[in-house]
Amino acid sequence: MTVRHFLTLDDLTPDEFRALIARAIELGEMHRAGTVHQPLVGRVLAMIFEKSSTRTRLSFEAGMCQLGGDAIFLSPRDTQLGRGEPIEDTARVIGRMCDAVMLRTGPHGNVERFAEYAGVPVINALTDRCHPCQLLADMQTFFELHGDIAGRTAAWIGDGNNMCHSWINAARLLGFELRIACPGDFEPDNDILTRAGDAARLVDSPAEAADGADVLVTDVWASMGQESEQDHRSAAFRDFQVDGMLMARANEDAVFMHCLPAHRGEEVAAEVIDGPQSVVWREAENRLHAQKALLEMLLAR
């Protein structure tokens, strides 16, 4: 039997992507109504965190509990991974004891190697290349507020990083336009951008990206592991802050998104993230419901 993984959004067809979003919305409504839904009783998710996390750990752990299963937190310092055990060996062992593995790591090749040897579903909870779980929640949030995103316009302002890559993949799969404004030295991976065709394109300025957009998105200027580059990045990105003037160029009902944590006064002005067009807290909550829909798809018998 073929094991199904979730390493990038490309592991979903457009129809499956939309079905996951619809199911996440439904699971959110059930949770708020107090409906008990536990299709994963007796199932165990191993969660390996090589990078720190708030929303990812909480949402996966709470999600497994709410679905009737259990989750085990593992950090490199608590396992043989931290002492140099090969990923392939760890994957084989964990896969024989648990029903799925969630991995938050650096090199994207780590999740690919883990998936090759685990024998159970492996979920990419963040790599340096992609952050597909965040996009499930982001798309759920947009669909809840504005309906299907097909034919709409999104603006990515800032680093062409793993979040930007996942927004590019989402644009290609769901049929919306993504305009990307970032400093020249921080553009997204060219292969990912090229593969998106007309769905995603680089523009010359944040203003050009924001004009008439339905959603503005950004991320921190220096991600985890890039702290030593903070000063250099702050200088490079100083004209890429999402502020009130930039939001005013978007459509009147446009929303602001951010995967968090956010740095007010850097990539986003306080007036925006704390303003009426910000949906960041809804995005954060939807990590729970989107990941429950994903776990249900991968694990429910």
- Other Cβ atoms less than 10 A from the Cβ of 93: the count is 15
Spatial separation of the C-alpha atoms in residues 258 and 267, rounded to whole Å: 10
Spatial separation of the C-alpha atoms in residues 285 and 62, rounded to whole Å: 11
- Other Cβ atoms less than 10 A from the Cβ of 167: the count is 29
- E strand intervals along 6-163: 44-49, 70-74, 100-104, 122-124, 153-157
Q: Helix, strand, or coil here: 268?
A: strand
Q: Interior CA angle at 265 toward 263 and 267, to 5°?
A: 60
Q: Report which DSSP code applies to 125.
A: S
Quick one: how many helices (H) and strands (E) in the chain? Answer: 12, 9
DSSP element (H, E) containing 255: strand 255-258
Spatial contact of 170 and 139, defined as CB atoms under 8 Å apart:
yes
Name, in order, each residue with C-beta under 8 angstroms of 125's C-beta and a sequence gap of 6 or more. 47, 53, 56, 60, 102, 103, 104, 133
Q: What are phi and psi of 196, to 5 degrees?
A: -75, -15
Closest C-alpha to 188, from 156, 149, 226, 141: 156
Q: Which amino acid is at 114?
A: F
Q: Which residues carry out catalysis? A: 104, 131, 134, 219, 259, 287
Q: Which amino acid is at 9?
A: L
Spatial contact of 159 and 168, defined as CB atoms under 8 Å apart:
no
- Other Cβ atoms less than 10 A from the Cβ of 139: the count is 25
